[in-house]
Amino acid sequence: MKRIIVLGACALALPAFTFPITAAAQVETYNIDQYHTVPYWETDHLGFATLRGRFDRATGSFTIDRGAKAGTFDIVIQTASLNTGDTDRGTRPRTRDEHLRTSDFFNVAEFPTMTFKGNKVVFNGDDVASVEGNLTLLGVTRPVTLKMTRWKCGPDMRARATSAAATPSARSSARISA
């Protein structure tokens, strides 16, 4: 059987970040909101169709130093949370999702996570343009550059500051593709 799965594309939404702990520091640290972050992938299916899937669980953080034009981006994706929408066996002995979890593809029993460790944030003016780092999947690490196709940062409307001294809350989102 020829493998048809590759990590074709990854889009991440990082919408709910908390703002820096100290206002004086220029380094901003954001934690990924796992409920609004969706790494997804797509692959060509034997030349006839494009199969799309997503991972329902991902955690990580993003640090950015706008002054120094630097930052890091770490994300850990739970591979067992993959979801292609095929969960009903029907007359088949297995669903596609069950097959994708086995050692033929994502091998979740042996490699429960995949990680991206970004160590270089590239800016375009004041905006983040891309993140360069290493993607580790199935025990293999390869350099990958994530291109930022959307970057938005602003106050989190769900949070209200209780005092002037309180750490302000912010909300930021990004769409990234590899």
Q: Which stretch binds another protein (CB under 8 A): 28-36, 42-50, 96-104, 118-126?
A: 96-104
Query: Binding to another protein by residue 157, rule CB under 8 A?
Result: no
Which of 31, 104, 149, 155 is the binder for another protein (CB under 8 A)?
104
**Sequence-distant contacts of 19-26: CB under 8 A, at least 24 apart:** 19/167, 19/168, 19/169, 19/170, 20/167, 21/167, 23/167, 23/168, 26/65, 26/66, 26/67, 26/68
Name the residue nearer to another protein (CB basis): 3 or 160: 3
Radius of gyration of the chain (CA): 18
Name the residue nearer to another protein (CB basis): 4 or 23: 4
Dihedral of alpha carbons 9, 43, 35, 137, sign: negative
Query: Binding to another protein by residue 89, rule CB under 8 A?
Result: yes
Which of 40, 59, 112, 145 is the binder for another protein (CB under 8 A)?
112
How far is it, in rounded angstroms, from Cα 17 to Cα 28?
10
Contact residues toward another protein (CB under 8 A) are 1-3, 89, 92-94, 98-99, 101-104, 107, 109-110, 112, 138-140
